[in-house]
């Protein structure tokens, strides 16, 4: 009897027993699991060993909820609970601190993180990113790559590489799901014509029109166009000399007549206290562009980056040398130009094949009965 009493006293004094004895949802003790939302998803909210556990348990089944709460308490005992709660942006900051941005490839990786991954995953917890959504059976990683499915395979692989590096800082066991590569990186079959460009331009406001024409007549990316400053524009010699934001390549761009008139007008109405040519950002232009494309009643939906495609395609289809176009676009080699922007229209291809019509070997005509 004395031994049993001592065992009971030991159990009552044990902090582990005190924390665990409140597992009963329906008892008199404080609830540790609650249901929220229309789907009655289970959430944990309790104190355990001095640590507050407050998390979604990703189930509507009470028995499974208890099992997952027990797993969380095990993480608390191991001292791993706070790491398990890490957010994507926190892992991203840690990854950036270890990144050597002196390497050109790492500059591209950083750009993928800041431009694509961070806006999408934001401050979501790593555990929430990898858990499945009960509504569609997919997690955020799968949804992200479905959204980006039209990107070339080479680009998607870079996205996957950066995402894996960051996610493993929050969850060492993280593995990427199978990714479908729909765009194998061949030539884009659609590119804007001059008439289509004119149609969209007509529905843009003044600043957005100027940005669109700057991209179309220089091949600048949207980031380079909206961030351009008067200090890199030489109106007297009709030249623009910039360092590409993404690749850090120096480019000297001659200014055509239409662009010269546009820039000269904007220079006259500029704010003398502001070195920027435009006072709108990327998101503002993207929204305006999307509205304009919708109003133009086109049978396809060109993106702002198709203005850069227009520049390359227009020059190539009018017989300009590949090396010259590659230099103007800031590409380090002609191969990149051919792979991503080497679009030829049907008229140019037919013109090329007509060369065989004037002087070619002809076989005797044979009747086919």
d(CA 326, CA 351): 23
pTM over 0.75: no
pLDDT: is 57 or 369 the higher one? 57
pLDDT: is 130 or 289 the higher one? 289
Summarised one tens digit per residue, pLDDT across range 2-35 is 554 444 444 444 444 333 434 444 444 468 998 9
Minimum mean pLDDT among 61-75, 157-171, 316-330, 341-355: which range? 341-355
pLDDT band at 250 (very low <50, low <70, confident <90, very high): confident
The pLDDT of residue 356 is above 50: yes
Q: What percent of the chain has pLDDT over 90?
A: 24
Q: What is the pLDDT of residue 167?
A: 92
Minimum mean pLDDT among 87-91, 203-207, 347-351, 365-369: which range? 365-369
Q: What is the pLDDT of residue 126?
A: 86
Summarised one tens digit per residue, pLDDT across range 234-243 is 999 999 998 8
d(CA 325, CA 312): 7
DSSP SS3 for 336: helix
d(CA 234, CA 356): 46
Determine the CATH number of domain 194-352: 1.10.443.10
Angle at 274 between CA 268 and CA 280, to 5 degrees: 90
- Could you tell me the two tokens for 138? 């997919």
The pLDDT of residue 90 is above 80: yes
Q: What is the pLDDT of residue 358?
A: 66
């Amino acid at each position: 009897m004395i031994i049993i009493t001592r065992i009971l006293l030991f159990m009552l004094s044990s902090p582990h027993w005190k924390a665990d004895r409140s597992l009963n949802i329906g008892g008199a003790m404080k609830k540790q699991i609650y249901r929220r939302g229309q789907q009655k998803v289970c959430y944990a909210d309790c104190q355990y060993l001095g640590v507050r556990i407050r998390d979604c348990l990703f189930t509507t089944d009470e028995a499974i909820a208890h099992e997952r709460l027990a797993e969380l308490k095990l993480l608390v005992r191991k001292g791993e609970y706070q790491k398990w709660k890490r957010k994507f942006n926190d892992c991203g900051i840690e990854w950036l601190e270890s990144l050597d941005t002196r390497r050109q490839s790492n500059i591209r990786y950083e750009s993928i993180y800041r431009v694509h991954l961070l806006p999408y995953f934001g401050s979501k917890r790593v555990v929430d990113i990898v858990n499945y959504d009960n509504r569609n059976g997919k997690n955020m990683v799968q949804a992200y790559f479905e959204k980006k499915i039209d990107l070339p395979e080479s680009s998607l692989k870079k996205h996957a590489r950066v995402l894996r590096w960051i996610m493993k800082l929050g969850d060492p066991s993280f593995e990427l799901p199978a990714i479908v590569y729909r765009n194998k990186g061949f030539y884009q079959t659609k590119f804007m014509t001059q008439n289509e460009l004119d149609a969209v331009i007509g529905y843009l406001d003044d600043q957005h029109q100027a940005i669109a024409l700057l991209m179309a007549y220089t091949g600048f990316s949207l980031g380079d166009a909206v961030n351009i400053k008067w200090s890199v524009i030489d109106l007297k010699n009709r030249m623009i000399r910039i360092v590409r934001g993404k690749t850090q390549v120096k480019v000297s761009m001659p200014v055509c007549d239409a662009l010269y008139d546009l820039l000269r007008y904007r220079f006259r109405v500029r704010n003398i206290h502001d070195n920027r040519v435009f006072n709108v950002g990327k998101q503002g232009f993207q929204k305006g562009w999307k509205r304009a494309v919708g109003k133009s009643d086109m049978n396809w939906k060109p993106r702002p980056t198709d203005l850069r495609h227009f520049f390359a395609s227009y020059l190539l289809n009018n017989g300009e040398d590949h090396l010259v176009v590659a230099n103007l676009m800031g590409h380090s080699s002609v191969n990149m130009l051919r792979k991503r922007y080497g679009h030829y229209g049907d008229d140019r291809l037919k013109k090329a094949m007509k060369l065989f019509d004037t002087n070619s070997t002809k076989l005797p005509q044979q009747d086919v009965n």
